[in-house]
A and B are shown apart, each in its own frame.
Chain A
Amino acid sequence: MNFPILSSLILLPSVGALFLFFTKSNKKNNFTVKYVALFTSAANFFLSIYLWILFDQSTSEFQFVEQRVWIKDFINYKVGVDGISILFILLTTFITPLCIISVNNSIKERLSEFLIAVLIMESFMIGVFCSLDLVIFYLFFEAGLIPMFLIIGIWGGARRVYSAFKFFLYTLLGSVLMLVAIITIYWLNGTTDVVELYKSGVDIRYQNLLWLAFFSSFAVKTPMWPVHTWLPDAHVEAPTAGSVLLAAILLKMAGYGFIRFSLGLFPAASEIFTPLIYILSVIAIIFTSFIALMQEDMKKLIAYSSVAHMGYVTLGIFTIQQQGIEGSIIQMISHGLVSAALFLCVGVVYDRMHSRLINTYGGIVSIIPKYSILFMIFTLAALGLPGTSGFVGEFLILMGAFKDNFLVAVIASIGVIIGAAYMLWLYKRVVFGKLINIDLKQMVDLNRSELFILSCLAIPTLFFGFYPDPLINTIEVSISDLIDQYNFKLASKL
């Protein structure tokens, strides 16, 4: 396999963005601009499907590895995928075209700039998930801040400036410590190549501090309680497509980072800090679920539910059980689909009524039935009803947690109930009940593109709910190998 498929995946959206950059932006061209962006991202999606087909599920080795000298005697440009990362790449390439279709209704001005930002974002995100060098990873990880800052700041709502700044500075502050840790690893081991580092391990005396440095970055990005406060602000102010990108893909970078780096490089430290993660995760699950219960703003409610869901993810990862980690990855994929869909659902009614407040709505089920059905599917998926992908993830995580720590698992299970409460209550208040606000009668049901996007998200949500095997088969070997490595390193004090 000589064709550099991963580099193509990274570069293709940027090339599309470059093309848009040289297209004159005016109202007449908006149509062309959109189709160029859509075509690029769709091509990228099919390329990633092709990657999945070629992907060999029976090995945990990195596949499609490309390596080039980048900074001589220092850093190699190295990319590759294993079972853990490939699903995230698919998620990214799947969500981006849907985002681009969704701009129809929400983005009115500077369309081509917006699409450029989205496409560049896609490049960076794919880069994050397939880089096999710490410095390259950091580069992509941080670079994503620039387009997201602009997306929130330029196309966002009323308090967009505050939110954009908060988002940028929070994440930057979290990440700089990771840079120190990366350079330290370079001086300890003489390389930043992840595969080499997996083999050689990191000096046990430094592991705790290095783990904390990585943690500071990932905790902000996840986001974990108590550094989650940027997320509701960013979500509320970002345009719909921005919220979707943020919830579906950006939040997954940290979960991925925990599995790839915290577990892979610092097993001894991960063992020590597992209680910390458990406590923070449980607080996130219970505490933010209660906060979500009290929200008036739909986007804010979903944002807080994201924090709770990511709490399950971190909990599952640090159970260091096959089921727990598998569950975390499936939960992330499922959350990527479901939260994206929920934000789009909010976007749909926002575009019509220009309000995100829950009490604006009520009794819309008879006015916009198609919307109500799809919204219900995603609500149920978010609360983890069996038959949706949300259930598979949560169930596996809780199973892993019960094996590792009974108390934590019990508390986390209580979170599931609260989760069901706020999601159902949200649905009840928005869709059912008496029609009080007469303006709602003028609402039109989903148009073709909205129906298309939401169905695209509903199909995998249900499909993987009933039949999660394609996902589990992809990640299974990589995870069991990761856990073996973890236990081996722990035993041999590496």
Chain B
Amino acid sequence: MENLQLILPEIFLSLSIMFLLILGVFKNNSSKLIQNLSLIILIITAVVTFNETIGISNTKLFNDSIIIDYFSSLMKIITLLAAFLVLIISSNYLKTFQIFKIEYPILILSSVLGMMIMINSNDLIVFYMGLELQSLALYVLATFNRDQIKSSEAGLKYFVLSALSSGLLLYGCSLIYGFTGSTNFNVIANQLNSSEYALTLGIVFILVGLSFKISAVPFHMWAPDVYEGSPTSVTLFFTMVPKIAALTVFIRFLYVPFLNLIDQWQMILIFLSIASMLFGAVAAIGQTNLKRLVAYSSIGHVGYALAGVAAGTNDGIQSSVIYITIYVIMNLGLFSCLLMLKRNNQYYEKIDDLSGLSKNHPMLSLSLLIILFSLAGIPPLAGFFAKFYVFKAVIEQSMYFLAIVGLMSTVVAAFYYLRLIKIMYFDEQKEKYDTDHGFWLKFSLTASTLLILIYFIFPSQLIEVVSRINIIQ
């Protein structure tokens, strides 16, 4: 039991959640207190993770069902920080809709706990447990603005489709268990026999379930509706945090037990990646709602992250992690802008509402301009480097088709990002929006914009952070 300190972050987080629940029940009007406490808890958890586990390499706990290594620690810290930022900029939005309640931070904390378990998992059962914990919290979060019919619809839709995908995933798990006799990733790796096609079927089912969670095409149908219907702050959470965790599991699942079957799953991944990139780019063109547009854009971005995973090398994995990190920063900035489009206690989320923004709010539109060009992958902004690393890893493996299709779809995707810029800069102005935003909202917008803008000055740092990830020994 001497290794219990390695899961100290998880233990601390779960105890804190229980404490906050009790506090919320017994103390009236405690939503502000709980919000602040949750922020502190997230930071402490991140610090503890950093202190206790970042230097640990490849330690397994509880009958090898949990793995602690650099990769998992890093992804946990990114998840925690992303959740922290979501929580800190969402309070004004929630107050406007009078849904600033104690449940919101607690639900976010519990979904984060689920994700941390997912990231740690080295066993199908543990992985499933974490997945369900996070999903359950996310269902409720999607319906959080329950007075609005769209929000309820989003939650219900997400619940039904997610349950279906969980079913498929479990079926895949049971197939794999049936053929290898274990749920442990390492044992499965040793028991593999590639001639058994049913095993491949098991992988396919699990991939389907995971693709659903990260909304890769063709399992993306829920994303636009759910993103549109959910409260904007929850949409922000959806587009960032669960994807980090699911991508981690994606990588761990494919590269630990099934590395030897790479020929079988690489094709599937290339397909998922190409389909997501193309579909995300093409389908976003016709959108008129900003949140739906972001949904399609995030589908596209998942495609790029998967391209890195498909490469089948440590370089590919690292580029994927860089991609998702930069994507999180860009998305944070994008949503900070969305949360600023407020006038008379009403939020605007149609594309036309951006019209002529640059005349009334030059700084806001300049930030949005930089973020959008970065999302489109135009150098010298951070988004370009994200794509550059991914395609570097992909081309290293001579997967030219994937690289060329991916880069072509960036051109298509550039079209709808440019359309937003056109509406902001070239069109006639409308009424002004409020300018009295909270400090943290302004802070997150400024910080993310600056990071995107000056990333090219010090590109080595991020590479150095991820270069210690080596899943494939």
Contacts and interface: CB of A to CB of B under 8 A. Distances in A.
B160 interface: no
B400 A139 contact: no
A71 B425 contact: no
A179 interface: yes
A142 B403 contact: no
Contacts, number: 80
Contact of A180 (B373, B391, B415, B459): B391
A161 to B, nearest CB: 6
Contacts of A410: none
A149 B391 contact: no
A165 B425 contact: no
A298 B233 CA distance: 53
Nearest to A178: B407
A70 B426 CA distance: 36
A165 B456 contact: no
B407 A180 contact: yes
Contacts of A160: 426
A146 interface: yes
A169 interface: yes
A361 to B, nearest CB: 30
A395 interface: no
Given A72-B463, A139-B379, A165-B422, A173 B415 contact: no
Contacts of A142: 378-379, 384
A435 interface: no
A409 B404 CA distance: 37
Contact of B410 (A70, A176, A186, A187): A176
A173 B378 CA distance: 12
B267 interface: no
Interface string A135-161: 100110011011001100110000011
A146 B378 contact: yes
Contact of A139 (B380, B395, B418): B380
Interface string A179-192: 11001101100000
A168 interface: yes
B425 A138 contact: no
B74 interface: no
A177 interface: yes
Contact of A179 (B388, B418, B459): B388
A74 B393 CA distance: 13
Contacts of B425: 150, 153-154
Contacts of A146: 373, 378
A27 to B, nearest CB: 15
A168 B395 CA distance: 25
A459 B22 CA distance: 84
Given A70-B460, A172-B414, A177 B422 contact: no
Interface centre among B379, B408, B414, B415 (most CB of A within 10 A): B379
A353 B464 CA distance: 60
Contacts of A184: 395
Nearest to A174: B411
A69 to B, nearest CB: 8
A179 B407 contact: yes
A139 B456 contact: yes
Question: Interface extent on A, as a size class?
Answer: 20 to 34
B460 A72 contact: yes
Given A149-B418, A183-B391, A143 B459 contact: no
Contacts of B456: 139
Interface centre among A149, A168, A177, A179 (most CB of B within 10 A): A179
Main secondary structure of the interface of B (DSSP, over half): helix
Interface in B218-244: none
Contacts of A172: 378, 410-411, 414
A145 B414 CA distance: 12
A164 interface: yes
Contacts of B384: 139, 142
Nearest to A145: B378
B396 interface: yes
Interface string B384-425: 100010011001100010011001101100110010011001
Contact of B395 (A165, A173, A180): A180
A183 B390 CA distance: 11
Contact of A71 (B404, B422, B460): B460
B391 A179 contact: yes
Interface centre among B410, B460, B463 (most CB of A within 10 A): B460
Contact of B411 (A72, A143, A176): A176
B415 A72 contact: no
Contacts of B396: 187
B426 A173 contact: no
Interface string B362-376: 000000000001000
Contacts of B422: 153, 161, 164-165
B159 to A, nearest CB: 40
B426 A168 contact: no
A161 B415 CA distance: 12
B404 A177 contact: yes
B426 A154 contact: yes
Interface string A118-142: 0000000000000000010011001
Contacts of A161: 422, 426
Nearest to B415: A169
A180 to B, nearest CB: 5
A176 B460 contact: no
Nearest to B398: A187
A70 B457 CA distance: 8
Given A72-B464, A153-B422, A176-B408, A168 B414 contact: yes
A22 to B, nearest CB: 12
A168 B408 contact: no
B80 to A, nearest CB: 27
A179 to B, nearest CB: 6
A168 B418 contact: yes
B285 to A, nearest CB: 12
Contacts of B380: 139, 143
A180 B460 contact: no
Nearest to B422: A161
B391 A138 contact: no
A71 B459 contact: yes
A164 B419 CA distance: 11
A179 B406 CA distance: 12
B391 A173 contact: no
A75 B378 CA distance: 18
Contacts of A139: 379-380, 384, 456
Contact of B400 (A143, A179, A180): A180
A222 to B, nearest CB: 19
Interface string B175-214: 0000000000000000000000000000000000000000
Contacts of A169: 411, 414-415, 418
Given A72-B460, A139-B379, A187 B395 contact: yes
Contacts of B378: 142-143, 145-146, 172
Given A139-B379, A164-B422, 13 more contacts: A70-B459, A139-B380, A142-B379, A149-B421, A153-B426, A161-B422, A165-B422, A168-B414, A169-B414, A172-B410, A177-B407, A179-B391, A180-B403
4 smallest beta-carbon distances between A and B, as pairs: A176-B407, A139-B379, A183-B395, A72-B460
19 contacts: A71-B459, A72-B464, A135-B388, A139-B456, A142-B379, A143-B379, A146-B378, A153-B425, A154-B426, A168-B414, A169-B411, A172-B378, A172-B414, A177-B407, A179-B391, A180-B391, A183-B391, A183-B403, A186-B392
Interface of A: 69-72, 74, 135, 138-139, 142-143, 145-146, 149-150, 153-154, 160-161, 164-165, 168-169, 172-173, 176-177, 179-180, 183-184, 186-187
